[in-house]
Structure formats: structure tokens, C-alpha cells
């Protein structure tokens, strides 16, 4: 994106002050109609993105705020920022959609919501949003199934993870650990070093032997059933991960543990036709007579 002019930067600040989110329906549509095509682009990219005003569109306030900023940036790039500046500054209080008075004032990090800062691993941006009252415990469902920490782990934003682990706010560390178990080892180590206690789900989700070793050293429950009713041993067998099966058995996994449906690891291995794992389980004490 091109460097914004001072007029555009100031206008973005104006449009996010005092709880402003976006112009109300007809006024936003009027703004959009002012924006010319970008003749340097082709196809849909020639036209600015639509206002988020249709009844079928369910958008969060920050998404609407960011779309307004997109429109301001578009006007700036097309040389009509003066016209748009006059229009937006001329709107009355009633012609703006607003949030409560404790909404964030994102006038400095013009092109990032708090979530965008997380995904971009922008810790300074995150700090500014937090200082303005944004709640890191909100559900950032668009990017992850959880709060800011889960979002940072999902995005593999290691600096964001490290920072969130230091702030004095209760975040869902268990969910973050489950996500990290199947991602970067260094992020998983950060969480475990911070005292996160891994559960059976995290151990089941770990796809690499190194991650399994880390989780076991952090006292992950090796024989507990996860939320879908399998032990880590069941899960490793179902995915054909022989190396992890061997590691779990060496580390004390019960070869006769039953799933919520009463199935043993040996049943899993035989139904999958994995002879090597069947032999390994029998060698480690799996009971072929167990029903």
C-alpha cells in the first residue's frame, strides 16, 4: 500500500474517534459511489471493496472500521482525498454507527485491527490496542477458535505468543497448547516453559515425536482419553505414526487402554491392517484376548 498523505492519516484518526465505526448505510453507500475505478488494475480489483451494510452481512465493528479505512486509502491513492475528507468530516453525529465509549481508538496503527497485529506478529501494535481497552479474551473466530493467545499460536506469531504470556490477564493457555502441539516446536516450548499444563487433547494432536516428548516431559496424561474418546496411543495408531506409537509405549502408555467405545489399541491396529504396529503392541503386552 502506498504511503498515506497527511490528510488521509488525519481523516482515519477522525473516523475512529469517539466510538465511530462507519457511516450509516446510505451515507456509506454515498461515500463508496465517490470512489473511482483504479485503472491500473484489472477485473474486480479495479473497483473499491463494497461497504459492509447489507443485511446478510454480519460483521464485527473492527471489520467495518477497517473497511472505511480501505475506502479512505483508496480515495487517497486516486487523488480525491480532499472530496472524501470534506464529506466524512461533514457527517453529523447521527450519521455515524458507533460503539460504546470504551471502544478502541485505532488511529495510529491505521491498517491493523488488534487481530491483524497478532497475525502480523506486531507486538507494539498489540500493546497499543490493549492500552485502549481491547479485550484479549474475545473470541477471534475468524482466524482461530479461541482468544488472542490461541490466535497468535494459530498464526505462528512467536513474538505475539511470548508477549501474551507475560501480561497479567487470564488467557486460555490449554487451548493454545492444543493448537501448538501440531505446529512449531519453539512455540510449544514457550507455552510449556510458561507453565502451561498440557491435557490429553494436546498429546493426541501432536504430530511430531519431538512435540510428544516435550508434552510428556510436561506431564501430559499419557493414558487419559481426549475429548473425542481416544488415548494418545489410539490416535497415533489411527494415523499410522509408528514412531510416536513406539515413543508412547516406551514412555509408559498402557497397550490395553480402552477408548470410550471400548476399543483397545490392538483393535485399532488390526482393523487398520498395520502389521508392524500389531507386532509392537503384542511385544509390549497388548492382550489379544481382550474384548
The domain defined by 112-196 folds into: 1.25.40
pLDDT given for residue 144 in this prediction:
63
Would the pTM count as exceeding 0.85?
A: no
What residue has cell string 505414526? 241
113, 7 Cβ separation under 8 angstroms: no
State the CATH class of domain 197-291: mainly alpha
In which residue ranges of the chain is CATH 1.25.40.20 found?
A: 112-196, 197-291
Residues 6+ apart with CB under 8 A from 219: 197, 198
CA dihedral 233, 234, 237, 238 (to 10 degrees): -150
Rounded distance, CA 231 to CA 262, Å? 12
pLDDT given for residue 109 in this prediction:
39
Question: What's the Rg (C-alpha) of the chain?
Answer: 26
pLDDT given for residue 141 in this prediction:
60
Distance of alpha carbon 39 from its chain centroid, rounded? 35
pLDDT given for residue 145 in this prediction:
66
Backbone angles phi, psi at 21, to 5 degrees: -115, -60
Q: DSSP code of 86?
A: H
Neighbours of 102 (CB within 10 A): 10
pLDDT given for residue 218 in this prediction:
96
Rounded distance, CA 76 to CA 195, Å? 48
Length of the chain measured in residues: 291
Paired with 22 in beta bridges are 97
Q: DSSP code of 49?
A: P
* Greatest pairwise CA separation for the chain in angstroms: 82
Q: How many helices (H) and strands (E) does the chain have?
A: 16, 2
Query: In the chain, which stretches have pLDDT less than 70?
Result: 1-2, 54-58, 100-112, 141-145
pLDDT given for residue 2 in this prediction:
58
Buried b or exposed e, range 155-190, using 16+ CB within 10 angstroms? bbbeebbbbbbeeeeebbbbbbbbbbbebeeebbeb
pLDDT given for residue 110 in this prediction:
37
Rounded distance, CA 144 to CA 15, Å? 28
Amino acid at each position: 500500500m502506498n504511503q498515506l498523505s497527511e490528510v488521509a492519516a488525519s481523516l482515519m484518526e477522525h473516523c475512529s474517534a469517539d466510538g465511530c465505526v462507519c457511516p450509516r448505510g446510505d451515507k456509506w453507500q454515498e461515500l463508496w459511489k465517490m470512489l473511482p475505478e483504479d485503472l491500473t488494475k484489472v477485473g474486480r480489483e479495479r473497483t473499491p471493496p463494497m461497504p459492509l451494510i447489507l443485511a446478510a452481512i454480519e460483521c464485527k465493528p473492527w471489520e467495518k472500521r477497517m473497511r472505511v479505512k480501505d475506502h479512505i486509502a483508496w480515495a487517497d491513492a486516486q487523488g480525491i482525498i480532499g472530496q472524501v475528507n470534506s464529506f466524512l468530516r461533514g457527517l453529523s453525529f447521527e450519521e455515524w454507527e458507533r460503539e460504546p465509549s470504551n471502544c478502541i481508538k485505532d488511529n495510529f496503527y491505521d491498517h491493523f485491527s488488534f487481530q491483524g497485529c497478532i497475525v502480523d506478529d506486531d507486538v507494539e501494535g498489540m500493546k497499543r490496542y490493549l492500552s485502549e481497552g481491547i479485550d484479549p479474551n474475545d473470541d477471534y473466530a475468524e482466524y482461530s477458535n479461541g482468544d488472542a493467545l490461541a490466535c497468535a499460536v494459530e498464526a505462528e506469531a512467536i513474538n505475539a505468543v511470548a508477549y501474551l504470556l507475560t501480561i497479567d490477564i487470564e488467557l486460555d493457555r490449554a487451548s493454545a497448547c492444543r493448537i501448538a502441539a501440531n505446529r512449531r516446536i519453539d512455540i510449544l516450548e514457550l507455552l510449556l516453559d510458561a507453565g502451561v499444563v498440557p491435557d490429553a487433547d494436546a498429546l493426541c494432536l501432536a504430530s511430531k515425536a519431538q512435540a510428544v516428548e516435550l508434552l510428556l516431559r510436561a506431564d501430559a496424561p499419557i493414558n487419559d482419553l481426549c475429548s473425542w474418546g481416544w488415548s494418545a496411543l489410539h490416535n497415533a495408531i489411527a494415523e499410522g505414526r509408528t514412531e510416536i506409537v513406539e515413543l508412547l509405549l516406551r514412555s509408559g502408555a498402557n497397550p490395553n487402554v480402552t477408548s470410550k467405545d471400548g476399543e483397545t489399541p490392538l483393535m485399532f491396529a488390526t482393523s487398520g491392517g498395520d502389521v508392524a504396529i500389531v507386532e509392537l503392541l503384542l511385544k509390549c503386552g497388548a492382550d489379544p484376548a481382550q474384548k
